[in-house]
Amino acid sequence: MTKIEEREEKVNLAIEIAIKLSIIAIVVVVSFLIAKPFMAIVIWGAIIAVAISPLINNLEKRFGNRKKIIIGITVAVVAALLIPTYSLSGKTIETSQKVIHAMQEGDITVPPPTENVKEWPLIGEKAYTFWENASKNLKSTLAPFSDKIKAGATKLLSSLGGLIGTILMFVISMIIAAVFLIGSEGSVKFYKDISRRLMGDKGDEWAELSTATIRGVVNGVIGVALLQGILSLIFMVFMDVPLAMVWAILIMFVAILQLPALIISGPVIAYVFSQGSGTPEVIFAIFMVIVAAGDGAIKPILMGRGV
């Protein structure tokens, strides 16, 4: 083989390698773009699977039939999320339609405030005056705030849509977690194989540590959010708050999103005080504030367990 032929062969080989690498790069990029919208859902599914796997293992030891246990828990969680969400969205749409129709007809009325409103801390007198004026002439009372009301309504609907989207994403993630849990042996083996490739002899140790870390974080975030939702539900049921289950679920999801639970519990407290301002209402407000603010003390404890 002459030098020219040898050089041509090397050039052809280089071109062939470049073409193959380009094709591989294109496939990887296209695959990433296709999978990108679903990556967050799949990652959440994996995190949920890691977090609840000890519970599944304990139930399997007691009752057997791992697959039925996983399906049962998944159905229960999905139902607990979708039923209140459907109820809340339906009531919101129905109420919005009624309000719009009443405003168009000009027959919307606001009931006069009770004397208890005056006793609200800090804002009692102003709130009572504004409420009383609105009960007499709603249109003129709200006229100076029309732009703010429109902007607030838009933000509220956007937030509601975002919340419903988050709930649906969590539902899909829960279903994906169930798939991971049903095939947990293969998933664990795959994860440990990757860990050994990346970390060598310490692969198994690193896999166990990362699993414990994920489980601790999830226990800290979701565990505390669930506790906040349950305690809030108990207090609201005791005070006869309408749609207590819906508000409790909203408090739980706001906490999961790492937002202050007072975003939801604050208006609930205001509603309770509008019905009365006695000792039960004060105790309710104190407990709700403690539940909303207590996550900062509990999360580090749960996050540190097992790590």
Residue 187 near residue 45 (C-beta atoms within 8 A): no
Residues 6+ apart with CB under 8 A from 299: 220, 221, 224
d(CA 44, CA 42): 5
Who's near 121: CB < 8 A, 6+ residues apart? none
Count CB-CB contacts under 10 A for residue 49: 24
The per-residue pLDDT for 8 is 74
> Around 205, how many Cα atoms within 13 Å sit in the side-chain half-sphere?
4
The pLDDT assigned to 174 comes to 86
Quote the percentage of the chain above a pLDDT of 90.
0
pLDDT reported for residue 227? 85
**Averaged pLDDT, 22-41:** 84
* pLDDT value at residue 298: 67
Predicted local confidence at residue 122, as pLDDT: 72
Average pLDDT value for residue range 93-112: 69
Q: What is the mean pLDDT of residues 95-110?
A: 67
Question: Quick one: pLDDT band at residue 105, thresholds 50, 70, 90?
Answer: low
**What confidence tens digit (pLDDT) does each residue in 242-259 have?**
878 878 888 887 887 777
Cβ atoms within 10 Å, residue 226: 14
> Residue 78's closest CA among 260, 261, 249?
249
Integer Cα distance of 258 and 256 in angstroms: 5
Q: How far is CA 111 from CA 66, 131, 134, 281, 307, in A?
A: 56, 9, 9, 21, 56
SS3 129: helix
pLDDT at 166 (0 to 100): 76
Contact of 277 with 116, CB cutoff 8 Å: yes
The single residue listed with the structure tokens 């994996």 is 46
Amino acid at 119: E
Find, among 306, 300, 168, 307, the residue nearest to 221 by Cα. Answer: 300
Q: pLDDT tens across 191-238, in order?
A: 677 777 777 777 767 777 777 777 677 767 777 888 888 888 898 888
Tens digit of each residue's pLDDT (9 = 90 or more) over 54-87: 778 888 888 888 888 888 888 988 887 787 777 7
Extract the tokens encoding 32. Answer: 């990433």
Q: Which residues of 229-268 are buried (b: 16+ CB within 10 A; e: fewer)?
A: bebbbebbeebebeebbbbbbbbbbbbbeeeebbebbeeb
CA dist 135 and 63 (Å) reads 60
Residue range 86-100: average pLDDT?
A: 71
Find where tokens 């198994």 sit: 204
Q: Note the pLDDT of residue 103.
A: 64
Q: What is the pLDDT of residue 244?
A: 82
Q: What is the spatial distance between Cα 69 and Cα 56, in angstroms, rounded to a whole number? A: 7
State which of 47-51, 62-66, 112-116, 118-122 shows the largest mean pLDDT. 62-66
Q: What is the pLDDT of residue 302?
A: 60
What's 222's DSSP letter? I
Rounded CA-CA distance 270/92 in Å is 19
Q: Is the pLDDT of residue 306 over 60?
A: no
| pTM for the full predicted model | 0.62
Question: Among 174-178, 182-186, 231-235, which is the least confidently predicted range?
Answer: 182-186
Q: At residue 1, does pLDDT exceed 80? A: no
Q: Output the six-digit token pair for 222.
A: 């979701």
